[in-house]
Structures are given as C-alpha cells and as structure tokens.
Amino acid sequence: MTQKMRIGIIGFGAMAQSLVQQLSKRDAIHIADCLIRSTSTRPVPGGIVRHDDISGLIAAAPDLVVECAGHRSVADHVPRLLRAGIDVTIVSIGALADAAIREELQRAAEEGGARLVAVAGAIGGLDALRAAALAGLDAVTYTGRKPPGAWTGTPAEEVVALDTLREPATFYEGSAAEAARDYPKNANVTAAVALAGIGFDRTRVRLIADPTTRTNSHQLEVQGAFGRFAITIENNPLPENPKTSWLAALSVAEAVIRRAGKLEL
Ligand SMILES: NC(=O)C1=CN([C@@H]2O[C@H](COP(=O)(O)OP(=O)(O)OC[C@H]3O[C@@H](n4cnc5c(N)ncnc54)[C@H](OP(=O)(O)O)[C@@H]3O)[C@@H](O)[C@H]2O)C=CC1
Ligand SMILES: O=C([O-])CC(=O)C(=O)O
C-alpha cells in the first residue's frame, strides 16, 4: 500500500477550511496537523492534531506544510519549517514584497534542503507571464476590483466612504510593492504577478471598490517583446470571508493534489 502524503496546515480560517473540504476527498492525502493560535475559537475537525506552537508542528514532521494564515505567519513560522527540512507551500505571497523576508526564506530553504512553493492563488495567466518575461516585458498592469465590503479594515477606508459608495471608485494606484504590503488580505495576487513578471517596483497596480459587482475580479494586462495579452478572472468569494476568492483556496488544493500525484501533467 502506498503511503499517504501527510499535510500540516497553518491557520484554520476560510481558506484552510475550503482546502480541507477538497483534500479530504483524496485517498493519497492525509491532513494530519494544523497550527492555530491558542486564542483561536475556530473548530478543527477530529483527526487533525492541533498545535499552538511551531515546535509541535515541526516535531510532527509532515511531508508538506500549507500556509493559510497571513503575512505574519510566513515571517514567523515558514523559515523555521524550511530549516527543519519541511517543504512549505504559501498562499500569503504578499509577505515576499519584503526583501528581507525573501532573503531569509531563501537562506532557510538552502540550509534545510527544503522547498518553498508560492501558489498563483486567485489569479491566472502567470505561466504565460513567466514565459513572456524571458524575452523582455515593457509593462505589466494589474487591476483588482471587489465589492466595497471586501475592502473594510484596509487603507481604502481613508480614501472612500465604502458604506455609501454608489459608483466604482479607484482608491489606490501605485506599485505592487506598496499594494502587497498595505493590503495584506486583499492584494497577495499583486506579489504573485510581480514575482512572475517585472518585479515589485515596476508592476503597476490599480485597486477598485465597486458597489455594482458581486465578484472579486483580477485583470492582468501584459506587453512585451512577445506581443501582448490580457486576462480577467471573475471570482466568487468564499462565503466565510468576502476578501478571499474561492479560486485562491482551489489553487492551493490543486498544488497539493498535483504534488501528491506521481505525474505532473
Ligand atoms: N494568494 C492569494 O490569492 C490569496 C491569499 N490570501 C492569504 O491567505 C490568508 C488566509 O486567508 P483566509 O483563510 O481567507 O483568512 P481568515 O481570516 O479567514 O483566516 C485566517 C486564519 O489564520 C490564522 N492566523 C492569523 N495570523 C496567524 C498567525 N500569526 N499564526 C497562526 N495563525 C494565524 C487565523 O487565526 P484565528 O483563528 O486566531 O483568527 C485564522 O485561522 C490571508 O491572510 C491572505 O494573506 C487570501 C486570499 C487570496
Ligand atoms: O482572493 C482574492 O481575491 C485575492 C486576495 O484576497 C489576495 O490576493 O490577497
């Protein structure tokens, strides 16, 4: 009998719960452990061992840890896992906008002989962007559009009255470096785009609160020596967290399922 791939998850919010739903249908995968804060009130299904300290998760030695808990958890926990030789897949890619964190993760992966994978998350087209970048890119522009409620608790509140908005309002225009840092629960996709294309400073970002939409949409426009492409993804949000698109959770699930398979087709 082949051994199941043992997964540990960091965080147990909307994304992690959706991930568990997907992965528990797969025979080759066992969700063994999760790391959640001791203060967390979120219920964790029976059969998953709950840790409130990273040392416990490291001692459990899962085959792969999947981070679903935000930028802080990437900085605090992922280097330790990598140094312990545990592979990690992250979804809070915006943490990589900080060059010091990127360097620390690189060092930790080398020291531990482990692999860090950042998923595409809620966006698509990164394969084409990466390929196009080889011949040189002139411009990469990302536009993120979500209903006003998805921007609550962010700096957008200082620019527009989200509660009474009647028309779409662009509240941020700038670099992926700033967007990923200042909108850590909404703009991780800008980091995925930056890393696949022309970097955090040259990737242009526009963020829009739109009372006329129900979806979280992500538009990518790319120009370079290869030609040009534009792609728009209209995502349904996860019911438990309107900031997070369902596709982001599915993207993590797909990455884990592909890794558990024998062939990468
Ligand atoms: N790449 C992409 O396309 C996307 C990436 N994301 C990233 O995924 C993250 C999770 O999203 P989602 O599940 O919707 O968010 P939720 O707010 O629903 O859940 C977050 C979970 O992480 C836990 N958590 C927060 N901080 C820490 C920490 N320092 N250590 C351990 N656990 C922690 C929370 O704990 P508690 O239970 O105590 O609240 C909660 O269980 C987002 O913060 C964002 O960074 C989100 C959407 C798209
Ligand atoms: O899920 C989304 O629509 C995108 C998102 O929140 C992020 O990139 O952080």
The number of the ligand 2 atom at minimal distance from the alpha carbon of 248 is: 1
Q: Residue holding tokens 């399922």?
A: 257
d(CA 20, CA 249): 10
More confident residue, 263 or 175: 175
> Which of 48, 51, 92 has most ligand 1 atoms within 8 Å of CB, for mutation?
92
Look up the pTM and report it: 0.96
The number of the ligand 1 atom at minimal distance from the alpha carbon of 244 is: 47
Dihedral sign, CA of 45, 51, 54, 60? negative
Within 8 A by CB and 6+ apart from 117, the residues are 87, 88, 89, 90, 255
Q: What is the pLDDT of residue 2?
A: 72
Contact of 222 with 229, CB cutoff 8 Å:
yes
What ipTM did this prediction achieve? 0.98
Ranges assigned E (strand) in 97-167: 116-118, 137-146
Please check the confidence at residue 238 and state whether its pLDDT lies above 90: yes
Tokens (6 digits) for 102: 């990127």
User: SS3 of 120, please?
Assistant: coil
Measured by CA distance, the residue closest to atom 11 of ligand 1 is: 15
Q: What is the pLDDT of residue 263?
A: 64
Quick one: average pLDDT of 9-34? 95
- Contact 72 CB / ligand 1 (< 6 Å): yes
